[in-house]
Amino acid sequence: MARLGAAVNIITSDGPGGRSGLTASAVCSVTDDPPTLLICINRNSDNNAAFRRNGVVCINTLAHDHEELSRLFAGSAVMEDRFAAGAWTTLETGAPVLEGAAVSFDCRIKEASEVGTHTVFFCEVEAIAVGPLTEGLIYFGRAYHRIAGATN
């Protein structure tokens, strides 16, 4: 899987299960109508339980200058420290939206399926925040890489 390059995302949630967030590259578009994305989260992750309880997530696709924030959300830092490192707002669902992200998809979880060690969450988009067109951040070969944005 290390050879399957992917955009880097910080997936966040807030609600009865508490504020939570993690770094993930297992994110994929499912359908345009209704606009739906999927995310894959390890079942042993504390975030998995919080996402289920909250029923909402925001998929924040990172720009190149978010690499350190990505590392923080991927590590073992306490949740409060993770969120203290970024600037956050909210849209429709109340899930934290990262200011300056390439794009943020504010979603309600509509369905979840267990596959191997992970839960696949199907998330219907309720609102979108589009950030500046800049270099993106991908993860490939167990390393971060910048990817150029469109020039037009």
pLDDT at 152 over 50: no
Is 148 inside a domain boundary?
no
For residue 17, the 8-state DSSP code is: T
What's the half-sphere exposure (Cβ side, CA atoms, 13 Å) at 30?
A: 18
Is 150 inside a domain boundary?
no
Q: How far apart are CA 101 and CA 103, in angstroms?
A: 5
Is 147 inside a domain boundary?
no
For range 98-117, the mean pLDDT: 97
* Selection from 121, 147, 145, 117 nearest residue 53 by Cα: 121
Q: Is 81 helix (H, G, I), strand (E, B) or coil?
A: helix
Domain CATH number, residue 62: 2.30.110.10
Is 87 inside a domain boundary?
yes
Q: How far is CA 15 from CA 19, 20, 36, in A?
A: 7, 9, 21
* Selection from 80, 42, 94, 85 nearest residue 67 by Cα: 85
pLDDT at 96: 98
Is 115 inside a domain boundary?
yes
For residue 62, the 8-state DSSP code is: P
Mean pLDDT of the chain: 94
Is 152 inside a domain boundary?
no
pLDDT at 151 over 70: no
Domain that holds residue 103: 6-142
Please tell me the least confidently modeled range out of 3-7, 21-25, 49-53, 76-80. 3-7
pLDDT at 119 over 80: yes
Is 1 inside a domain boundary?
no
Is 55 inside a domain boundary?
yes
For range 120-129, the mean pLDDT: 98
The total number of structural domains in the chain stands at 1
